[in-house]
Amino acid sequence: MRLSNIAAIVTGGASGLGGATASLLARSGAKVAIFDVNAEAGASHAVSLGGVFVEVDVTDESSVENALAQAQEAHGVARLLINCAGVAPAIKTVGKGAIAHSLTAFRKAVEVNLIGTFNVASKFAARLSEADVDGEERGVIVNTASVAAYDGQIGQVAYAASKGGVVGMTLPMARDLATYKIRVMTIAPGIFLTPMLLGLPQAAQDSLGAQVPHPSRLGRPEEFAQMVESIVANPMLNGEVIRLDGAIRMGPR
């Protein structure tokens, strides 16, 4: 599938991995709609790309339906969805003072990272399923997991569980949507220079980057976007999870 002139949606597209992906898609000629809860950053980025922004809560069905309708009105039926919206809590199963992990925090991680991903993907696919076939496919969904789905560290129990769910639904979703000629892929990034990591001291960033076997540095959001581009371009990539991590295998902490 060519990116030129197709309608694309990027959740979590205001910054970080989603922001870089939205930028690459726009440079390649796609008509980009950014879905995010950060209205100020999302609207600013959309303007810079010549795209549209919709404030969206990915966990809310009506919010997603309304956002998809607005994006479709602006750009036509979207053929590409990149799900990058997510949260990353750092809480142990049992913390200091024998305090159990907050169920509210655990539930939020699952609702945003897993249920939110499914909510947008399923509603996006329902709209796309009625569109004409473009070549040999209708479109592509790229979800975002994490190496934490496989190598969850201390304090990542909620995050790892939610991203493990994204990994687990990749193949069955691809099989479900094969009849509609919609591909489904997942990228599991390692340690990337997202806004959260950029807030750390340079020494801490360097220490994290040194843990990556090769290249021994933090990943750049633009490299995540390049993987999205490769997935879209290759029609045989379907139903699989790609670790994008410089061969790192995370230790317990």
CATH code at position 196: 3.40.50.720
Indicate the pTM of the whole model: 0.96
Tens digit of each residue's pLDDT (9 = 90 or more) over 195-227: 878 877 888 788 889 999 999 999 999 999 999
Residue 251 in any domain: the answer is: no
140 contacts 181 by C-beta, under 8 angstroms: no
Residue 75 in any domain: the answer is: yes
Catalytic residue, chosen from 53, 106, 124, 159, is: 159
Tens digit of each residue's pLDDT (9 = 90 or more) over 127-165: 999 999 988 999 999 999 999 999 999 999 999 999 999
The number of distinct structural domains making up the chain is 1
**Is 159 noted as a catalytic residue in this protein?**
yes
Strand order of the β-sheet with 80-83 is 52-55, 31-36, 7-11, 80-83, 139-144, 182-189, 241-244
Residues 201, 203: Cα–Cα separation, whole Å: 5
Residue 253 in any domain: the answer is: no
The per-residue pLDDT for 243 is: 98
Residue 105 in any domain: the answer is: yes
Residue 1 in any domain: the answer is: no
pLDDT at 29 over 80: yes
Residue 67 in any domain: the answer is: yes
Q: Containing domain of residue 124, as a range?
A: 7-244
**Cis before residue 89, ω within 30 degrees of 0?**
no
Residues 193, 225: Cα–Cα separation, whole Å: 13
Residue 2 in any domain: the answer is: no
